[in-house]
Amino acid sequence: MRMVEIETYLDSVAECGGLGILAGHTDWETVPPERVGAVVDAARERGIEVTTVGEAVRDQ
């Protein structure tokens, strides 16, 4: 996804509430650490809580 598409998705999650899931891994050539950071920052700017799968499972 392009960043503009991710931002639109995050806008929708922030507006509608619920759960949004994005997957990425810094080992993938197309997902450098800077991109992961930009997505996390964009989510937080919208008031969206960011967690990892490990944290979500542990908190159940």
The per-residue DSSP string of 28-40 comes to STTS-HHHHHHHH
Q: What is the pLDDT of residue 21?
A: 87
| pLDDT (tens place) for every residue of the chain, 60 residues total | 899 999 999 999 999 988 888 877 667 777 888 888 999 999 999 999 998 888 878 877
Number of domains in the chain: 1
Rounded CA-CA distance 15/4 in Å is 16
Dihedral angle sign, alpha carbons of residues 24, 26, 30, 33: positive
Domain that includes residue 34, residue range: 3-17+25-58
Q: What is the pLDDT of residue 18?
A: 82
Q: What is the pLDDT of residue 26?
A: 65
Q: What is the pLDDT of residue 22?
A: 84
